[in-house]
């Protein structure tokens, strides 16, 4: 009578399943957006612009956030680069506003982010 051999479970050493499709272009673009927003000061600026109708003067940001004008400009440059913010000069002051042509999905995303 043959000795019963203990059956070892079969264990795959490789992958079993494909990952769901995630587009690399989406990941790159969204990571850039997240980077632009990954800072409390920049989030505060975006939320301020979101919550007001009128453009906000750089002078109100320096006063309200207790930061220097170059620091505000630096952060705003990053938000402009990400297409979130736009600016215009009025007299001696720069005024910032959310970008007029924010896509509907970005607008929805910002709304969701700010309402949390």
Which chain residues interact with a copy of itself by CB under 8 A? 11-22, 24, 26-28, 30-31, 34-35, 37-41, 43-44, 47-48, 51-52, 56-57, 59-65, 91-92, 105-106, 108-109, 112-113, 115-116
Burial 39-70 (b: 16+ CB within 10 A, else e): eeebbebbebbeeeeebbebebbbeeeebeee
The helix, strand and coil proportions of the chain, stated in percent and rounded to the nearest 5, come to: 50, 10, 35
Q: How far is the CB of 14 from a copy of itself (least distance, A)?
A: 6
Q: Are the C-beta atoms of residues 20 and 27 closer than 8 Å to each other?
A: no
Q: How far is the CB of 1 from a copy of itself (least distance, A)?
A: 32
Q: How far is the CB of 78 from a copy of itself (least distance, A)?
A: 12
Give the integer Cα–Cα distance in Å for 98 and 45: 10
Is the Cβ of residue 1 or residue 19 nearer to a copy of itself in the bound state? 19
Is the Cβ of residue 2 or residue 13 nearer to a copy of itself in the bound state? 13
Q: How far is the CB of 10 from a copy of itself (least distance, A)?
A: 11
Is the Cβ of residue 59 or residue 80 nearer to a copy of itself in the bound state? 59
Give the integer Cα–Cα distance in Å for 63 and 7: 74
């Amino acid at each position: 009578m043959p000795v019963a051999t203990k059956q070892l479970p079969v264990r795959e050493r490789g992958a079993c399943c494909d990952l769901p499709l995630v587009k690399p272009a989406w990941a790159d673009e969204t990571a850039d957006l997240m980077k632009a927003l990954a800072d409390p000061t920049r989030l505060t600026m975006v939320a301020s612009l979101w919550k007001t109708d009128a453009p906000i003067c750089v002078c109100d940001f320096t006063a309200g956030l207790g930061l220097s004008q170059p620091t505000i400009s630096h952060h705003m440059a990053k938000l402009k680069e990400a297409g979130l913010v736009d600016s215009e000069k009025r007299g001696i002051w720069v005024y910032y506003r959310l970008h007029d042509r924010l896509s509907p999905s970005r607008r929805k995303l910002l709304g969701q982010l700010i309402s949390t």
